[in-house]
Amino acid sequence: SNINSSDNSISKYREFLKDLELLTVHYVVSAIKESGIRTTIGNSLTVNEFIERFGFSDKYKKLVKRLIEILSDNKILNIVEGNLDFKEDPDIDFSEILPEVLYKKYPDFQAEIRLTELCGEHLYKILTGRKDPLEILFPEGDMTLLTKLYQDSPTFVHMNNSIRIITENIHSSFSEDKKLNILEIGAGTGSTTSYITPLLKNENISYTFSDISQAFFIKSKERFKEFRNINYKVLDIEKD
Q: 64-119 pLDDT, tens per residue? A: 999 999 889 988 889 988 899 998 665 667 888 899 999 999 998 999 999 999 99
1-51 pLDDT per residue, tens: 433 445 567 788 889 999 999 999 999 999 999 999 988 888 899 999 999
Q: Residue 2's pLDDT is what?
A: 39
Cα 160 to Cα 23, 107, 139, 204, 233: the distances in Å are 26, 20, 25, 22, 21
Q: Residue 154's pLDDT is what?
A: 83
Three-state DSSP class for 80? strand
Average pLDDT value for the chain = 89
Nearest of 140, 144, 26, 156 to residue 92 by alpha carbon: 26
Rounded distance, CA 214 to CA 216, Å?
5
By residue count, the chain amounts to 240
Q: Residue 90's pLDDT is what?
A: 58
Amino acid identity, position 143: M
Q: Residue 92's pLDDT is what?
A: 67
| Residue spans of beta strands (DSSP E) within 125-204 | 180-185
Q: What's the predicted TM-score (pTM) here? A: 0.78
